[in-house]
Amino acid sequence: MVRQYETVFIMTPVLSEEQMKETVSKFQDYLKNKGAEIVYEDHWGLRKMAYPIQKKSTGFYHLIEFKADTQLVKALELEMKRDEKVIRFLTVSLDKHAVAYNEKKRREKDAVKETEAEKEN
């Protein structure tokens, strides 16, 4: 059964920019190769965590929203557990209300970007 999911994962802060991008593309490629459709992505950058994890107080956050089969989600989480660069992750299944909310937020964000672009010109 295909459902829509949202995964947020935190990568260790000791990674270089290139290593962080490689890790993100690894999971993007994994999803695409297994037949998932990536709906949206957002890189939140380096952020302070609420509490230390593995003696680290910051991490690179990345969000991927995708449509996939439930078995693929289990396989993706197993891959994240095996990757030493990922220190924490959370995958949630989105119901129709959450999907609508995310789409509304993206439209608002795009409208703000368009307004800012018009002001610059």
Query: Where along the chain do its domains lie?
Result: 2-95
Give the CA angle between residues 103, 40, 111 to the nearest 5°.
50
pLDDT digits (tens, 9 = 90+) for 68-99: 998 999 999 999 999 999 999 999 999 999 99
Q: Which of 70, 82, 79, 83 is nearest to 36 (CA)?
A: 70
Separation of alpha carbons 61 and 112, rounded Å: 23
Nearest Cα to Cα of residue 8 among 51, 55, 48, 43: 43
Per-residue pLDDT at 74: 93
Give me the mean pLDDT over the 21-40 stretch.
93
* Mean pLDDT, rounded, for 54-62: 93
Count CB neighbours of 59 within 10 A.
25
Q: Give me the CATH code for the 2-95 domain, please.
A: 3.30.70.60
Task: Please give the pLDDT value at position 10.
Answer: 95
Among residues 48, 64, 65, which one has the least CA distance to residue 56?
48
pTM for this prediction: 0.85
